A = this chain, B = another copy of it.
């Protein structure tokens, strides 16, 4: 059976001031299309039955999600005792799914992606699920790059082996976020695709790979499996997560695994990771400004201006993010949007809790 496993940990400090401890990025309407986690769930609702829709996050955020977006109460929550990156979160989900469904096929989907063409997206997932359901293959979705982006990881296809079917290739290597020069080479090569962070595999396949590559986590996850649905479940999970180091699925498993395949995805994807991506994805006026709320620009171009209560006037400035919330106004260059978390760190140091 097909299961959707939506990865929804993290509060998204890069979306401060909209993201807060009690208002994580997943529930914010960053693009004017509704909260991204809601969109993510809705996108797969045609292909995954209700009881197979899972959200992996911590307890605090699970409570917030349901409180802020009542529709999410229909999903089932898998609770991470603490953030330990993607490999343990995926392993925890695999163990939970296997208890109910030994043939479970997992669609691992980050909660904060934007997809332009939902039909093509679902078709791509179904193709992947079809391929992996009777094999041990680990499938990833690779996005054809449109610019020499340095903010994503890349996956190289293996040209020395035969193509598997249309838009499906064997994988040669995973590459970390490149420098600008390397990113340009990747783009020109035609062999490199953006690593979307979406994966499709049988739950038992990924457990086998965790066994081979992350034996400590494998044995911890086995302990959790035994405790599932007992009154010791929480305590055991807590102990296992506490005593093992966090690691990503890419680094911990994918980069070492054989039998990894890539499905070429072409459905208007973006990883909405910071304000510059929000600017990129939103509609622009003739000067390239992406505006929400009341704003006026004079000799100002390519800005992201999200007004709320006040009218925002920008004169003679370009490529800025200006974000207004109930209590904060953020101003920074779009090119520095990754550093917004530095403000969060500075506020923590000053103990300015009300703005966190």
Contact = CB atoms under 8 A, between A and B. Distances in A.
Contacts of A343: 296, 298, 313, 315
Contacts of A355: 311
Taking chain A's interface residues, is the majority helix, strand, or loop, or is none over half, making it mixed?
mixed
Given A296-B346, A296-B347, A324 B329 contact: yes
A32 interface: no
Given A315-B330, A317-B332, A339 B298 contact: yes
A119 to B, nearest CB: 39
A154 to B, nearest CB: 27
Which interface residue of A307, A316, A325 has the most chain B CB atoms within 10 A?
A316
Which interface residue of A298, A340, A346 has the most chain B CB atoms within 10 A?
A298
A311 B343 CA distance: 12
Given A298-B339, A339-B298, A332 B346 contact: no
A315 B340 contact: yes
A331 B310 contact: no
A31 interface: no
A308 to B, nearest CB: 9
Nearest to A325: B310
B331 A314 contact: yes
A322 B324 CA distance: 13
A329 B329 contact: yes
Contacts of A324: 310, 329
Contact of A316 (B298, B299, B336): B336
